[in-house]
Amino acid sequence: MMDHPVNPAKSVVAVVMGSKSDHEVMTESARVLADFKVPYEIRVISAHRTPDRAHDFAVNAEDRGIQVIIAAAGKAAHLAGVLSSLTTLPVFGVPMTTSDLGGLDSLLSTVQMPAGIPVGTFAIGKAGAKNAALLAVAVLALSDTRLREELKGFRKKMRDQVAADDADITQAGIQEMF
């Protein structure tokens, strides 16, 4: 399924943000999906300002072939919960950093969903944006051998990077000592 080229008309993952100002952060999600060649779309839909749009998006997502929805919002961050209430597709939430409470408000509004309507929630900000996309890839990889292999390759690349960083720091430490 993942073998066709990137094509927004055939999005498999939807990255939805509640405000245009979340775009920079959510580029982290987009970049992961692009790297893994997962067709995705990136949208601005506000649960609060455009509830009907959110409704239409969510109820039609499955029929359009979307398999995972990543929803990012800040403050009283209802977007992920609202979308999950309208679809049975997996919905992942990314809480945005907020200037006053650091994102604790976004986090609690996203993660503390009452029983029945699940939202898998990730870390506040860019780390969360990246990880939500990685978990979307992991979900798709359950039925896609290529993605499974690429995920393992991604892990290996991270390991190699840490090993290189380790060598750098250790070397620097030795030089400082002598």
**Segment 93-122, which members bind a copy of itself (CB under 8 A)?**
97-105, 107-122
The distance of closest approach from Cβ of residue 47 to a copy of itself in the complex, given in angstroms and rounded to an integer, is 7
Which among 140, 84, 150 has a CA at the least distance from the CA of 111?
84
- Distance (Å, rounded) from C-alpha 65 to C-alpha 127? 27
Decide: is 44 part of the binding site for a copy of itself (CB under 8 A): yes
Site for a copy of itself (CB under 8 A): which residue of 13, 42, 71, 72? Answer: 42
Site for a copy of itself (CB under 8 A): which residue of 4, 56, 60, 127? Answer: 127
Give the containing element (helix H, strand E) for 75.
Answer: none
**Based on CB atoms, which residue is closest to a copy of itself, 60 or 158?**
158
Size of the site for a copy of itself (CB under 8 A): 98
**Based on CB atoms, which residue is closest to a copy of itself, 64 or 102?**
102
Token output for 165: 């960083």
Decide: is 132 part of the binding site for a copy of itself (CB under 8 A): yes
Q: What ranges in 20-142 are assigned the alpha helix state H? A: 23-35, 51-61, 79-86, 104-111, 126-141
The distance of closest approach from Cβ of residue 91 to a copy of itself in the complex, given in angstroms and rounded to an integer, is 8
Which among 44, 47, 36, 46 has a CA at the least distance from the CA of 20?
44
Q: Which parts of 148-177 interact with a copy of itself (CB under 8 A)?
A: 148, 151-152, 155, 158-159, 161-163, 165-166, 168-170, 172-174, 176-177
Site for a copy of itself (CB under 8 A): which residue of 36, 38, 46, 72? Answer: 46
- Distance (Å, rounded) from C-alpha 150 to C-alpha 122? 22
Q: Burial-class residue 21 by CB neighbours within 10 Å (0-12, 13-18, 19+).
A: exposed
